[in-house]
Amino acid sequence: MSQTNVLVLVGSLRAASVNRQLAETAVAVAPEGAEVTVFDGLGEVPFYNEDIDVAGSIPAVEALRDAAGRADALLILTPEYNGTIPAVLKNAIDWISRPYGTGAVKDKPVAVISASPSGNGAQWAHEDTRKAVRIAGGKVLEDVTLAIGGTIDKFGDRHPRENAEVAQQVADVVASLVEATKQLVDA
């Protein structure tokens, strides 16, 4: 495989989202051999409902499933809402978990990064995201545990990609996804 395609899902829809900026950082620092793309349409994906889950019927869902299906690996960026995973992100995981057994996330390497202004770096959302992805059939990189806390003090008004330590940590996560994808191909 010449190139690993990594799709990034971001669990915050707000324009100035730090998690979105960390996703942009992943794009900026992607190592050679990795093509990292941020999925933009999560806000348009309706709440999961088996009644409306008819192949080809909802463009926003098709776009998500197509992008996830084309990806070799997924990177998920999440804040924490009331101690757990934001609804928009859980909804996306639900959509790509279906059809049961053949959803777009099935058997794909998935890494999670979380970030929040609090000290624990959205650790609970991080853990809950990993659990949901695991149950959805993704191959969660369990040893990738990047949880970035204190984001207001750490970044201030500056983009996280300007923070060399964080940029390196994000690059390491993307490199782990590339490596996990190669191991799957070689297996």
Ligand X SMILES: Cc1cc2nc3c(=O)[nH]c(=O)nc-3n(C[C@H](O)[C@H](O)[C@H](O)COP(=O)(O)O)c2cc1C
- Contacts to ligand X by CB under 6 A: 12, 14, 17-19, 79-83, 116-118, 122
In the complex with ligand X, the residue whose CB is nearer, 92 or 180, is 92
CB of 153 to ligand X, least distance (A): 13
d(CA 171, CA 9): 16
CB of 18 to ligand X, least distance (A): 4
In the complex with ligand X, the residue whose CB is nearer, 37 or 84, is 84
In the complex with ligand X, the residue whose CB is nearer, 14 or 158, is 14
CB atoms within 10 A of CB 106: 17
Closest CB to ligand X: residue number: 79
CB of 93 to ligand X, least distance (A): 17
CB of 174 to ligand X, least distance (A): 18
DSSP-derived secondary structure letter, 35: E
What are the residues whose beta carbons fall under 8 Å from the beta carbon of 13, sequence distance 6 or more? Answer: 42, 43, 88
In the complex with ligand X, the residue whose CB is nearer, 72 or 80, is 80
What are the residues whose beta carbons fall under 8 Å from the beta carbon of 95, sequence distance 6 or more? Answer: 45, 48, 53, 61, 64, 65
Burial, 68: exposed, middle or buried (Cβ in 10 Å; 0-12, 13-18, 19+)?
A: buried
